[in-house]
């Protein structure tokens, strides 16, 4: 009897020890994975600092023999972005940045659309200087829906042009564009001629200004966006197809004559985390174009000083067929070359 009790106690002790060992192992695995992510992030930052230090010190006679190759830089950026997004998916309430978030207290347009502004305010004309800002976030809905690839997101972007200094017209919002979308991201790492295709995206996108006639503007699109990176260069191609609408529902039947059939953007990361980019959209057959130039650099904390220049058609829904000439100065939050960057 005593022997049976001893055997039973021994068995229970072994089972308890095994359970504790499994729990400890699970905790240990989670801690190891978390530590690996931290080390990868630290390694990436150290490599970036080393790269910036070498390129900025042109007068130094000492050369560093283990410079990162362009494809390595692109893959490091891709790995860091994956780590951040994997962290966010572990929190069901996590919201991450989508496109660039910015605030421009100074946004001067020498070609304001006075005709459309009469429907906003009959008391005065639009001021040339206004406040322009953009808020853009996304949330992960599902991941790896096609085996090990295919992450589904809901994204929302809101861009506003606020006549804050036009007190004669009671400082109205001249225009606000609302842009919800559902998209699937496919991370990639294949390369050709030194360019790494870091991401492909398929999106269903709605864009409108939430107005009633005669100011109502809206359209639905399906776009394919592909990003290619070579070291500190990034090229994004985003062709789109407009979803057809009936004539009675179409607020802007000629929008493709001005907005064209997609966007192209080329970006460059400079020394000390400065960034410059150029984006083009338009319809060459109709001789309608829109060009946006951005330049940003670290200011203080997480804020970046930001300058933006836009010339041509398609800056906003209300001005898709009105050529603007705008210079904006202010601040932005998320750089293009970051874990959540390389978005329009």
Our CA dihedral for 327, 331, 333, 338, rounded to 10 degrees, sits at 60
240 is catalytic: no
Q: What is the pLDDT of residue 71?
A: 58
d(CA 337, CA 344) in angstroms, rounded, equals: 12
Q: What is the pLDDT of residue 91?
A: 61
Q: Strand locations in 92-232, DSSP E?
A: 96-97, 102-109, 129-142, 151-162, 173-187, 191-192, 195-208, 218-230
- Contact in structure between 322 and 113 (CB atoms under 8 Å): yes
**H helix intervals, the chain:** 2-56, 70-89, 114-117, 255-259
- Contact in structure between 263 and 277 (CB atoms under 8 Å): no
10 annotated as a binding-site residue: no
Burial class (CB in 10 A: 0-12, 13-18, 19+), 196: buried
d(CA 272, CA 167) in angstroms, rounded, equals: 40
Q: What is the largest CA-CA distance in the chain?
A: 101
- 77 or 166: which leads in pLDDT: 166
- 278 or 89: which leads in pLDDT: 278
Catalytic residue (choose from 124, 206, 226, 325): 206
Helix (H) or strand (E) holding 330: strand 324-332
- Contact in structure between 115 and 141 (CB atoms under 8 Å): no
d(CA 300, CA 133) in angstroms, rounded, equals: 19
Tokens (6 digits) for 88: 């966010």
pLDDT at 289 over 80: yes
Confidence of residue 186 (pLDDT cuts 50, 70, 90): very high
170 annotated as a binding-site residue: yes
- 43 or 242: which leads in pLDDT: 242
Q: What is the pLDDT of residue 35?
A: 75
Catalytic residue (choose from 128, 171, 208, 323): 208
Q: What is the pLDDT of residue 207?
A: 98
d(CA 198, CA 341) in angstroms, rounded, equals: 12
Whole-prediction pTM: 0.77
pLDDT at 187 over 60: yes
65 annotated as a binding-site residue: no
Condensed to tens digits (0 to 9), the pLDDT of residues 146-182 reads 988 899 999 999 999 999 999 999 999 999 999 999 9
Domains (ranges, CATH) in the chain?
A: 73-332 (2.40.230.10)
Condensed to tens digits (0 to 9), the pLDDT of residues 300-337 reads 988 999 999 999 999 999 999 999 999 999 999 999 88
d(CA 27, CA 21) in angstroms, rounded, equals: 10
DSSP structure class, residue 329: E
98 is catalytic: no
pLDDT at 133 over 80: yes
Q: What is the pLDDT of residue 32?
A: 76
Confidence of residue 189 (pLDDT cuts 50, 70, 90): confident
Q: What is the pLDDT of residue 271?
A: 92
Mean of the per-residue pLDDT values of the chain: 83
251 annotated as a binding-site residue: yes
């Amino acid at each position: 009897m005593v022997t049976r009790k001893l055997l039973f106690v021994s068995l229970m002790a072994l089972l308890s020890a095994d359970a504790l060992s499994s729990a400890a192992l699970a905790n240990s695995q989670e801690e190891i994975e978390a530590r690996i992510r931290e080390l990868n992030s630290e390694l990436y930052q150290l490599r970036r600092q080393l790269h910036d230090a070498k390129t900025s010190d042109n007068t130094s006679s000492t050369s560093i023999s283990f410079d990162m190759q362009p494809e390595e830089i692109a893959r490091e950026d891709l790995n860091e972005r994956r780590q951040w997004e994997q962290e966010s998916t572990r929190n069901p309430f996590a919201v991450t940045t989508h496109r660039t978030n910015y605030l421009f207290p100074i946004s001067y347009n020498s070609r304001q659309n006075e005709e459309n502004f009469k429907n906003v305010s009959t008391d005065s004309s639009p001021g040339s200087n206004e406040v322009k800002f953009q808020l853009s976030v996304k949330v992960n809905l599902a991941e790896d829906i096609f085996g090990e690839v295919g992450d589904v997101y809901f994204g929302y972007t809101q861009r506003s042009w606020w006549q804050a200094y036009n007190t004669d017209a009671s400082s109205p919002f001249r225009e606000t564009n609302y842009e919800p979308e559902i998209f699937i991201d496919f991370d990639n790492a294949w390369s050709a001629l030194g360019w790494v295709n870091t991401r492909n995206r398929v999106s269903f996108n709605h864009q409108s200004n939430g107005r009633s006639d005669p100011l109502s503007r809206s359209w639905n699109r399906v776009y394919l966006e592909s990003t290619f990176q070579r070291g500190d260069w990034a090229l994004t191609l985003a062709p789109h197809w407009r979803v057809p609408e009936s004539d009675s529902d179409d607020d802007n039947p000629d929008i493709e004559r001005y907005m064209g059939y997609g966007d192209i953007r080329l970006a460059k990361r400079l020394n000390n985390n400065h960034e410059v980019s150029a984006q083009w959209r338009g319809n060459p057959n109709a001789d309608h174009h829109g060009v946006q130039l951005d330049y940003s650099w670290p200011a203080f904390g997480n804020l970046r000083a930001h300058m933006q220049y836009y010339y041509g058609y398609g800056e906003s829904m209300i001005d898709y067929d009105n050529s603007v000439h705008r210079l904006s100065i202010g601040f932005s939050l998320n750089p293009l070359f970051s874990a959540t960057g390389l978005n329009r």
